[in-house]
Amino acid sequence: MKDRNFLNTVMEFEQQLEAIQEQFNYLKQFVAHMMEEHQTLQAENLHLRARLDELQSNEAIQNEERKSDVADIGEGYDNLARLYHEGFHVCHVHFGSSRKGEDCLFCLSFLNKTT
């Protein structure tokens, strides 16, 4: 009877070892999976950083271009204001014709809008 109990204990222990082995295998698979995912995320992060750098430098270039566009508009305005002060209409109603020394409300509102 005592031997019978001992055998049962040994068999139970074996079952426990098998269960632990199974859990350990599962854990190993989990770690392998995590390492794989970590590598994928690292590669993706690197890729996204490179893309972000690219976009940021593109944006910097575009901002430079935009600044020079604003400068162009400023220059256009200066030319129109000069033309007006030289005595010509710059409004769309009488554009290019002489103001004959009179102020034109269309021209003035146009020039004010452009600033």
Minimum separation from the CB atom of position 91 to Zn ion (A): 3
The site map against Zn ion for 66-105 (x = CB under 5 A) is -----------------------x-x--x---------x-
Instruction: Give CA–CA dist 16/26, Å, rounded.
Output: 15
- How far CA 2 is from CA of 5, 8, 13, 76, in Å, comes to 5, 10, 17, 108
Residue 99 burial (CB count, 10 A): 17
Q: Is the Cβ of residue 80 or residue 104 nearer to Zn ion in the bound state?
A: 104
Kindly state the smallest distance separating residue 110's Cβ from Zn ion, in Å: 7
Chain residues that interact with Zn ion, rule: CB under 5 A: 89, 91, 94, 104, 106-107
